[in-house]
Amino acid sequence: MKTVKHNPKGIYPATPDYAHALEVRNPSRFLYVSGTMGLDEKGVPGKDLAEQLRLIWSNLEAILESADMSVANIVRVTSYLRDASYVEENQNARVKALKGNIVPTTAIVVETLVSEWLVEIEIIAAD
């Protein structure tokens, strides 16, 4: 699989941690991951946003590992935030978790299904 980032001239600039588009050439498979919350193995949410983000990325890494993939295989990230004030902390957690893998990403402010769930993240991975 080869990926090509597309940040064309003539539209607003991409930030260093963001790509407007990512072309995936010749993938052998895709992994579509449901929205993942910051819950521990007993289903208990982390006590604050930082802990929930840590749990989410840990959960996503476990899901990827179960498919013989890693964060390097992620080609798309969508974050659902309970509050707009979570944007920067979510961004920082994503950048750290992706370890230099820059992919298209969207953050959306929503009312989560359970008020204790502060953020939910879904990904697409490919190889």
Residue carrying the six token digits 């991409």 = 14
- pLDDT recorded at residue 85: 98
Three-state secondary structure call for residue 97: helix
Q: Taking the domain 2-126, which CATH number applies?
A: 3.30.1330.40
Q: What is the pLDDT of residue 20?
A: 96
Give pLDDT, residue 70: 98
| Torsion region of 61: left, alpha or beta (phi above 0 gives left; psi -120 to 50 gives alpha) | alpha
pLDDT along the chain (127 residues), means of 10: 95 92 97 98 98 98 98 98 98 97 97 96 98
- pLDDT for 89: 98
pLDDT at 9: 94
> Alpha helices of 1-127 — where are they, by DSSP H?
49-66, 87-98
Find tokens 């659902």 and name the residue.
Answer: 80
Residues whose CB falls within 8 Å of the CB of residue 58, separated by 6 or more in sequence, listed in order: none
Q: How far apart are CA 101 and CA 77, in angstroms?
A: 11
pTM here is 0.94
| Residue ranges per structural domain of the chain | 2-126
Contacts of 65 (CB under 8 A, 6+ apart): none
pLDDT at residue 107 in the model: 97
